[in-house]
């Protein structure tokens, strides 16, 4: 059953930390191909696999989509080598339930009424929360799928194709109670699960990032739409700097142009390294005409895999 209206959990400040305090991109600053691929993913209800060099803005795309469409807090599912499909969907505290059941049996002899509902021991993780039934989609960021074990992309296929999953613990308990109220990945929010099944209505906006460090199964790639991020030019970097409310006077200090040149010479640098340099330049602790400044900038903008002499 869909809610009468969607109440999106408010952003917890992560969008502002990722993108800055205000939108500064003009129409000419936005990559038209990126817009086309995002729209296609929305219409086709397919995940968007975003590849590119580290620091090229892959994960920030999810936050920009959420801000542009007003879809609230981004659900970020950070992938590790230990991540499984189940861990992304939900967590069930079996030990906690056994302990609660034992405590309830002791209290039952004293006349206490009621057993702790099973929903108290179930929490939907970020992936599971994204597939709750809503009129409007949630934004789900699957960050760095490269780090996963080889089975995870295969396991995700069924979920992406069906748009639903079952929580066996709740399904078994449905004979006693057809619905259960469970915790979600949004702090302070709960959701009602009926018959142990979660089925999305509006397919979530799924942004999957990859650094290109491994190959994914062909079936998984066929399911996704693919977008390769491009290096930001000087105008886009200036817009990013302005979005973080940094002093525009330092645009004229040549830091942006110097960063673009250095990035091209070393095969690419994360854009946040430019922000680091401008933060230091505006902190009052350093000035671009200080003797130590060139060495400091050189250290900040050293390529991540470059050997230190």
Structure confidence by residue, pLDDT tens digits, 12-27: 777 767 676 554 444 4
Residue 71 to residues 38, 50, 75, 224, 225, Cα–Cα distance (Å): 14, 20, 11, 21, 21
Which pLDDT belongs to residue 116?
A: 82
Q: CATH fold of 14-228, please? A: Rossmann fold (3.40.50)
Q: How far is CA 253 from the centre of its chain?
A: 34
Domain limits, CATH 3.40.50, in the chain: 14-228
**For position 1, what pLDDT does the model report?**
61
Q: Nearest-CA neighbor of 62 among 133, 144, 134? A: 144
Phi, psi of 31 (to 5 degrees): -75, 115
Q: Give the pLDDT of residue 22.
A: 52
The pLDDT of residue 176 is: 85
Q: What angle do CA 32, 34, 38 make, to 5 degrees?
A: 120
Whole-number pLDDT of residue 273: 83
Helix (H) or strand (E) holding 274: helix 272-283
DSSP 137-198: PPEEEEE-GGGS-THHHHHHHHHHHH-EEE-HHHHHHTTT-SEEEEE-SSTT-EEEEETTEE
> Which of helix, strand or coil describes residue 229?
coil
Under 8 Å between Cβ of 56 and 268: yes
Q: What values do phi and psi take at 286, rounded to 5? A: -135, 155
Residue 161 backbone class (left: φ over 0; alpha: ψ -120 to 50; beta: rest): alpha
From first to last of the 309 residues of the chain, give the pLDDT tens digit: 666 667 778 777 777 676 765 544 444 456 789 999 999 999 999 999 999 877 677 888 999 899 889 899 999 999 999 999 999 999 999 999 888 888 777 766 555 556 788 999 999 999 999 999 999 999 999 999 999 998 999 999 999 999 999 999 999 988 888 999 999 999 999 999 999 999 999 999 999 999 888 889 999 999 999 999 877 777 777 777 776 655 555 544 578 888 888 887 877 787 778 888 888 877 777 666 677 778 888 888 875 545 444
- Give, in order, the Cα–Cα distances in Å from 174 to each of 89, 100, 194, 222: 19, 19, 8, 36
- The values of phi and psi at residue 166, to 5°, are -115, 140
CB 65 within 8 A of CB 207: yes
Distance CA 47, CA 205 (A): 7
- Cβ(198)–Cβ(132) below 8 Å: yes
């Amino acid at each position: 059953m869909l809610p009468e209206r969607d109440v999106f959990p408010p952003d917890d400040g992560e969008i502002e930390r990722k993108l800055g305090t205000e939108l500064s991109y003009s129409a000419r600053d936005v990559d038209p191909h990126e817009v086309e691929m995002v729209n296609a993913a929305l219409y086709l209800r397919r995940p968007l696999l975003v590849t590119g060099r580290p620091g090229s803005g892959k994960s920030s795309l999810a936050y920009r989509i959420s801000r542009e469409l007003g879809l609230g807090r981004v659900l970020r599912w950070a992938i590790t080598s230990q991540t499984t499909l189940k861990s992304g969907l939900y967590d069930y505290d079996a030990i906690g339930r056994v302990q609660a059941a034992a405590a309830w049996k002791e209290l039952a002899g004293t006349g206490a009424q009621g057993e702790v509902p099973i929903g108290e021991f179930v929490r939907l993780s970020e992936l599971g929360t994204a597939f709750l039934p809503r009129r409007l989609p949630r934004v789900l960021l699957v960050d760095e799928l490269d780090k996963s074990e080889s089975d995870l992309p295969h396991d995700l296929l069924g979920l992406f194709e069906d748009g639903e999953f079952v929580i066996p613990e709740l399904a078994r308990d449905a004979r006693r109670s057809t619905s259960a109220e469970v915790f979600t990945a949004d702090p302070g929010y709960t959701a009602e699960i009926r018959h142990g099944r979660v089925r999305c209505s509006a397919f979530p906006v799924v942004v999957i990032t990859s650094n290109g460090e491994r190959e994914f199964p062909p079936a998984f790639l066929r399911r996704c739409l693919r977008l390769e991020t491009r290096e930001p030019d000087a105008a886009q970097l200036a817009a990013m700097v302005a979005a973080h409310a940094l002093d525009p006077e330092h645009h004229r200090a040549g830091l942006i142009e110097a960063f673009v040149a250095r990035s091209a010479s070393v095969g690419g640098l994360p854009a946040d390294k430019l922000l680091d340099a401008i933060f230091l330049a505006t902190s009052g602790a350093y000035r671009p005409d200080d003797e130590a400044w060139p060495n400091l900038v050189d250290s900040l903008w050293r390529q991540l895999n470059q050997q230190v002499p």
